[in-house]
Structure 1
Amino acid sequence: MNYLSVGIGGMAGSVLRYLISLYTINLWSGGFPLGTFIANMCGCFLLGLLTGVNENKEIIPKYIMLGVGTGMIGSLTTFSTFSVETFKLYETASIFYAGVYVFLSAGLGLLLAWSGFYLGKKDSGKATVNQ
């Protein structure tokens, strides 16, 4: 069941990633990889949220977590594409955009993952005052 769940989630995530790329390709003409950035940021938030919800108690069954987390979000987001696109920006003398892309991806990605995780814990009644 776990393999099937991851496979179905992976197919869904890859299609979502493709659709995001299609719909964002004309939004920015400066060569910035907006589609990959949006997909990665959404994935950071969603995986943080799911992990937060399931932190201490299995609210979401394991096979669904695997399907959505490893399968869908894993195929929606991609470090390899991020790396290649950063290199391409750098290579085409867009050093500024390469730096912005790396800074925003790392900084905002971590912030969104933390926000999702905190909201997931809060919504599931597990947030603590010490956060």
Structure 2
Amino acid sequence: MPWVNSDKAIYLYIGLAGFIGANLRFMISVLTYSSDYFFPTGTLLCNYIGCFALGWFSQYIGTSQLSLKMKTAISTGLIGSFTTFSAFSVETISLLQDGKMFIAFIYIMISFIGGSLFAWIGYKIGRVFI
């Protein structure tokens, strides 16, 4: 298959990896859904996992034998579609509109602090593999 090695194949790799990441994110949302919506647990969990994974992967790719296409597919396609800033933003606005100011503030803070912490942990663990 000659197209697999073409320069445009990267779009296919990103799309396929994005398909996987988006479906994994959806599965986590379904598994963490609660009918008495109190807190956007699914999005927070996906973002934490994604921050850790991208932190780790950013260290790992430097020593990896993976092709540039695969590195981009994993970082941009898989991890990029798995995490979501847009859902975080909409859920925060929804909490604010529902009058849940304190919950919205907590969500913003733990998303930022926790996401940064998980990215840092992933980065540090990734350095162990170098």
State whether TM-score is above 0.5: yes
Letter in 2 for 1:16: L
Q: Deviation of residue 105 (structure 1)? A: 0.4
Letter in 1 for 2:33: I
Letter in 2 for 1:102: I
Question: Using the alignment, how far apart are the partners of 2:15 and 2:74 within structure 1?
Answer: 10
Q: Deviation of residue 60 (structure 1)? A: 3.1
Please state whether the residue corresponding to 1:32 is helix, strand or coil.
coil
Query: 1:19 corresponds to which residue?
Result: 27
Work out whether residues 10 and 71 of structure 1, in 8 Å CA contact, stay in contact via their aligned partners in 2: yes
Question: Using the alignment, how far apart are the partners of 1:60 and 1:90 within structure 2?
Answer: 43
Over the residues paired in the alignment, what is the CA RMSD in angstroms? 1.4
Question: Using the alignment, how far apart are the partners of 1:79 and 1:59 within structure 2?
Answer: 30
Letter in 2 for 1:50: F
Query: 1:127 corresponds to which residue?
Result: none
Query: 2:127 corresponds to which residue?
Result: 121
Aligned length: 122
Identify unmatched segments of 5+ residues in structure 2: 1-8
Question: Using the alignment, how far apart are the partners of 1:120 and 1:110 within structure 2?
Answer: 15
Identity among equivalent positions (%) equals: 37
Work out whether residues 16 and 76 of structure 1, in 8 Å CA contact, stay in contact via their aligned partners in 2: yes
Query: 1:53 corresponds to which residue?
Result: 60
Identify unmatched segments of 5+ residues in structure 1: 125-131
